[in-house]
């Protein structure tokens, strides 16, 4: 094998630094770093479960939960600096919140108030993208523009295992490699694309191998191991920042719940399969490791739980508030200046409303 | 004081000059696509730009239209004004999802926080003896998508003025360049004074009927008006210039002034821009119309092979036949 090819190939098995029982198997980040991540993980889980509950209460139309994938969510954002960009999918609400977006604003899309509820420039978080993989070429463009201007920004571009079959995934990897753009492509392989298993997406040895054909180094990581994620993603980000080009990272994880609340996962997978992943929970694992080292005090753990409750309460309060939608918004943001035709259509709606008021 | 200069330029040269002037004025303007670098584009619209402005400002990309447009979206999000070239009309289709789901919607999705000042240049339509997939009139797909602006110049001066306006615009523009007019020349006065995007112009005054055309059919309409004049009929010609935004005011005023109209468009008529024009003008000007508005368009067929394309293209005779059909009173 040529050194060039070796540089591109991922490890034979996913990088793991803490095993499912909480024992270190490699060079683990320091306790302070991991404690910070544990706190974020606990809040992440709480937000996922709170959002799920809010769907049942009718406050959200739907919620694609990242329950079980929280280590990926937290790590993707924690390895970034404020100037770096995050490109999330519909499943990556939690990652957006770790990058700084208010969870209430992040869920505006699913609450139905507006599509993107936050200012993408405030925390450098692109709008959640639903058309699969289409955000990945944008990530390359943001990174290329930063590079042309000599800004040290890196872009974290997220997608799922199913998304890797879309053309834009391949075009984005290829463009990033050719232009040497500072992008980390981060695939959360949670085994399913709605009902379709990974085996129907690809016959490749792993998704990380898909980088080879583009000259993009690939790496695979245990997606439920916070320490491994911080290490692998952190190294990829810093390599990109140092001008060494893009990288593809595949995290092996599992979608513990249905695709969304509207989905019935029992139609395509066994309970036993799900149960097997319970033992690999990312929070249990990190807590076991830190407890084993005596690094996690009862006070700290209690404070993590309290912070998670505060975040959940903030989410509840925000989503329980009814914002009266403004029909003028329908026409306000199509162009910088509404066209004559849009002004006419806005006037039509205004007229309908005034007649409603007159009748009432 | 700006000095006035006159240059005789083809549409292709005028577009090239517009790109060069925009890039010289604004360092955030970048141009990329397939073969736009050393080659200068298959139609030479980007000729010399890489040499003058460097690899970072005008560059070739991998051959992937979705990637090209998607990368432009990201660059526009991050402070640049990208101009991308789709090599031919029918080769822009791989980028359709990016155009419809992102280019057109980003401002709206983000309540105006993320604007996309970008231009997608598309050498378009037929009349050059091109083989299949090189002659599509694709304007209806774009015009039907809220959030896009769609323009089609018909003269070198407009090519320059509209491309400068498109690059300077805060919103995305689909810039349709009629291929068969690339080599037509005219004397242009610089600095160019021309109305911006969203404004139609009356290219020829006339009193009996109005021909409404855009892009490749504007010269056809002008020629038809010339022939009609010799036969004693005075035809007015409106050049839309901009399909979106649509200039209802100019078009309707023109139709009202004559009471008769024919829309001339190269693309298939069914569900096309020509159908929209007839609908809008009829809704607004019904009382002023002496006859139903007629259309002369391409047939509802895939673009034919070169040896048959003259049947598909609206020609002067077909336009004049349609004019003859406009229920003239016997005189
Ligand atoms: C282009 C496109 N096709 C189909 C869909 C519908 N869809 C939404 S999510 C999804 C599954 C995606 O799976 P994956 O990429 O693995 O992400 P996950 O949902 O598992 O996080 C599909 C098919 C879509 N959003 N976009
Ligand atoms: Mg998946």
pLDDT in tens, A293-332: 999 999 999 999 999 999 999 999 999 999 899 999 999 9
Task: Report CA B240 to chain centroid distance, whole Å.
Answer: 9
The pTM (predicted TM-score) of the whole model is 0.97
Q: Do B78 and A333 touch (CB under 8 A)?
A: no
Question: Which CATH code fits B201-324?
Answer: 3.40.50.920
Say whether B249 and A333 touch across the interface (CB within 8 A): no
Condensed to tens digits (0 to 9), the pLDDT of residues A259-284 reads: 998 899 999 999 999 999 999 999 99
Give B55→chain A minimum CA distance, Å: 11
Q: Is the confidence at residue A62, as pLDDT, over 90?
A: yes
Question: B115: helix, coil or strand?
Answer: coil
- What is d(CA B17, CA B40) in angstroms, rounded to the nearest whole number? 13
Q: Which ligand approaches the C-alpha of residue A166 most closely?
A: 1
Angle between helices A31-56 and A282-292 (to 10 degrees): 150
Residue in this structure with the two tokens 């990208």, named with its chain if needed: B82
Residue A223 near ligand 1, beta carbon < 6 Å: no
Contacts of A323 in chain B (CB under 8 A): none
Q: Report which secondary-structure segment, H or E, holds B248.
A: helix B248-258
* Contact residues on chain B for A182, CB-CB shorter than 8 A: none
* Minimum CA distance residue for ligand 1 atom 12: A193
Whether residue B199 lies within 8 A of chain A, CB to CB, comes out as no
- CA dist A230 and A28 (Å) reads 9
Determine the pLDDT at residue A193: 98
The model's confidence at residue B82, banded by pLDDT at 50, 70 and 90, is: very high
Find the Cα–Cα–Cα–Cα dihedral B182, B187, B223, B193, rounded to 10°: 90
User: Average pLDDT over chain A, rounded to whole?
Assistant: 97
A159 Cα: distance to centroid of ligand 2 (angstroms): 8
pLDDT average, residue stretch B293-307 = 98
Which residues in B lie closer than 8 A to residue A148 (C-beta atoms)?
30, 56, 80
Domains B7-190 and B201-324 share a fold: yes
CA of B125 to the centre of ligand 1 (A): 36
Select the residue of A120, A131, A336 nearest B97 (Cβ to Cβ). Answer: A131
Ligand 1 centroid from CA A162, angstroms: 6
Given this model, what pLDDT does residue A357 score? 83
Q: How many angstroms away from the CA of B283 is the closest CA of chain A?
A: 13
pLDDT of amino acid B202: 98
Q: Which two tokens stand for residue B58?
A: 């005008």
Q: What is the mean pLDDT of residues A194-207?
A: 97
**Alpha helices by DSSP H, chain A:** 3-8, 31-56, 70-78, 93-98, 103-106, 108-111, 120-123, 135-148, 167-178, 226-241, 271-278, 282-292, 298-320, 329-332, 340-359
Q: How far apart are CA B218 and CA B204, in angstroms?
A: 11
Q: Give the separation between CA A219 and CA A246, rounded to whole angstroms.
A: 12
Residue extents of the structural domains in chain B: 7-190, 201-324
State residue A261's pLDDT score: 87
Nearest to A10 by CA among A219, A250, A187, A236: A219
- Which ligand 1 atom minimizes the distance to the CA of A166? 1
CATH number of B7-190: 3.40.50.970
Q: Distance, CA A250 to ligand 2 centroid (Å)? A: 12
In this prediction, residue B331 carries a pLDDT of: 55
pLDDT tens-digit map of B220-267: 999 999 999 999 999 999 999 999 999 999 999 999 999 999 999 999
Residue B177 pLDDT:
98
- Name the CA dihedral angle for A20, A22, A25, A30, rounded to a multiple of 10 degrees: 130
Q: What is the pLDDT of residue A4?
A: 87
Residue B330's pLDDT band, with cuts at 50, 70 and 90, is low
- Nearest atom of ligand 1 to the alpha carbon of A194: 11
- Work out the average pLDDT over B23-40: 98
Of A121, A145, A339, the CB nearest to B113: A121
Beta pairing partners, A86: A125, A156
Q: Which bound ligand lies closest to the C-alpha atom of A191?
A: 2
Dump pLDDT digits (tens) for A145-175: 999 999 999 999 999 999 999 999 999 999 9
- On the question of pLDDT at A126 being above 70, the answer is yes
Under 8 Å between Cβ of A252 and A222: yes
How far apart are the CA of A155 and the centre of ligand 2, in A?
A: 21
The distance of B112 to chain A (nearest Cα, Å) reads 5
- Helices (H) and strands (E) counted in chain B, each on its own, are 12, 14
The pLDDT assigned to A269 comes to: 96
Dihedral (C-alpha) B208, B209, B210, B216: value to the nearest 10 degrees?
-110
- Cβ of A131 within 8 Å of Cβ of B146? The answer is no
Query: Looking at the complex, does the CB of residue B79 fall below 8 Å from at least one CB of chain A?
Result: yes
- Which pLDDT value is given to residue B1? 60
Q: Is the CB of A318 under 6 A from ligand 1?
A: no
What mean pLDDT is predicted for residues A174-203? 98
% chain A with pLDDT above 70: 100
Q: Which residues of A touch B149 (CB under 8 A)?
A: 335
Residues with Cβ within 8 Å of B279's Cβ and at least 6 positions away in sequence, in order, are none
Instruction: Summarize the confidence of residues A200-221 as an average pLDDT.
Output: 98
Tell me the per-residue pLDDT of B120-174, one tens digit each, with 9 for 90 and over: 999 999 999 999 999 999 999 999 999 999 999 999 999 999 999 999 999 999 9
Atom 13 (ligand 1): residue with closest C-alpha? A193
User: Residue A3: its pLDDT value, please?
Assistant: 84
Indicate if the pLDDT at residue A360 is higher than 80.
no
The residues of A annotated as belonging to the active site are 255, 259, 268
At A222, is the secondary structure helix, strand, or coil? strand
d(CA B215, CA B242): 9
Rounded percentage of chain B residues whose pLDDT exceeds 90? 98
């Amino acid at each position: 094998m040529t050194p060039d090819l070796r540089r591109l190939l991922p490890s034979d098995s996913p990088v793991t630094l803490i095993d499912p029982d909480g024992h270190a198997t490699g060079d683990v980040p320091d306790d302070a770093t991991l404690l910070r991540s544990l706190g974020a993980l606990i809040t992440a889980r709480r937000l996922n479960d709170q959002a799920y509950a809010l769907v049942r209460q009718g406050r959200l139309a739907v919620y694609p939960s990242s329950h079980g994938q929280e280590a990926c969510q937290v790590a993707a954002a924690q390895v970034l600096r404020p100037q770096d960009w995050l490109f999330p999918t519909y499943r990556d609400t939690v990652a957006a919140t770790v990058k700084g977006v208010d969870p209430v604003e992040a869920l505006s899309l699913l609450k139905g108030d507006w599509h993107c509820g936050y200012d993408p420039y405030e925390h450098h978080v692109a709008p959640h993208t639903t058309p699969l993989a289409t955000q990945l070429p944008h990530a390359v463009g943001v990174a290329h523009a930063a590079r042309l201007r000599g800004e040290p920004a890196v872009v974290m571009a997220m997608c799922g295992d199913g998304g890797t079959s879309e053309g834009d995934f391949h075009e984005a990897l290829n463009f990033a490699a050719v232009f040497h753009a500072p992008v980390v492509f981060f695939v959360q392989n949670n085994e399913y694309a709605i009902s379709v298993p990974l085996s129907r997406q690809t016959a490749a040895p792993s998704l990380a191998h898909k980088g080879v054909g583009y000259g993009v180094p690939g790496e695979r990581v245990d997606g439920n191991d916070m320490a491994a994620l911080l290490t692998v993603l952190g190294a990829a980000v810093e390599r990109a920042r140092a001008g060494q080009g893009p990288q593809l990272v595949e995290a092996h994880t599992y979608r513990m719940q249905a695709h969304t609340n509207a989905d019935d996962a029992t139609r395509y997978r066994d309970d036993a399969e799900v149960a097997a992943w319970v033992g690999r929970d990312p929070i249990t694992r990190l807590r076991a490791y830190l407890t084993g080292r005596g690094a996690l005090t009862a006070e700290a753990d209690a404070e993590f739980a309290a912070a998670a409750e505060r975040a959940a309460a903030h989410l509840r309060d925000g989503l329980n508030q009814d914002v009266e939608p403004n029909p003028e918004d329908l026409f306000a943001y199509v162009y910088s200046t509404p066209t004559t035709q849009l002004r006419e259509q806005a006037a039509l709606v205004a007229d309908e409303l005034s007649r409603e008021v007159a009748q009432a | 004081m700006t000095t006035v200069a006159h240059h005789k330029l083809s549409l292709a040269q005028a577009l090239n000059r517009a790109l060069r002037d925009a890039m010289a004025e604004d360092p955030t303007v970048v141009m990329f696509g397939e073969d736009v670098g050393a080659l200068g584009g298959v139609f030479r619209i980007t000729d010399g730009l890489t040499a003058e402005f460097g690899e970072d400002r005008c560059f070739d990309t991998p051959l992937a239209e979705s990637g090209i447009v998607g990368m432009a979206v990201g660059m526009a999000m991050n402070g640049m004004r990208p101009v991308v070239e789709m090599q031919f009309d029918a080769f822009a289709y791989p980028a359709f999802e990016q155009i419809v789901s992102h280019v057109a919607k980003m401002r709206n999705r983000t309540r105006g926080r993320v604007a996309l000042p970008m231009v997608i240049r598309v050498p378009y339509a037929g009349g050059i003896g091109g083989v299949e997939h090189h002659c599509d009139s694709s304007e209806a797909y774009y015009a039907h998508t809220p959030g896009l602006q769609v323009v089609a110049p018909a003269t070198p001066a407009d090519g320059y003025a509209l491309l400068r306006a498109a690059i300077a615009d805060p919103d995305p523009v689909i810039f349709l360049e009629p291929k068969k007019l690339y080599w037509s020349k005219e004397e242009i006065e610089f600095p160019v004074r021309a109305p911006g995007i969203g404004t139609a112009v009356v290219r020829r005054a006339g009193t009996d009927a109005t021909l409404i055309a855009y892009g490749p059919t504007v010269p056809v309409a002008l020629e038809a008006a010339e022939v009609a004049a010799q036969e004693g009929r005075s035809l007015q010609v409106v050049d839309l210039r901009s399909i979106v935004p649509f200039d209802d005011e100019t078009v309707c005023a023109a139709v009202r002034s004559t009471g008769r109209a024919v829309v001339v468009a190269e693309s298939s008529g069914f569900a096309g821009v020509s159908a929209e024009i007839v609908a809008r003008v009829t809704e607004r000007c019904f009382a002023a119309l002496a006859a139903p508005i007629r259309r002369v368009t391409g047939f509802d067929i895939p673009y034919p092979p070169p040896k048959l394309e003259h049947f598909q293209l609206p020609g002067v005779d077909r336009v004049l036949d349609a004019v003859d059909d406009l229920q003239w009173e016997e005189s």
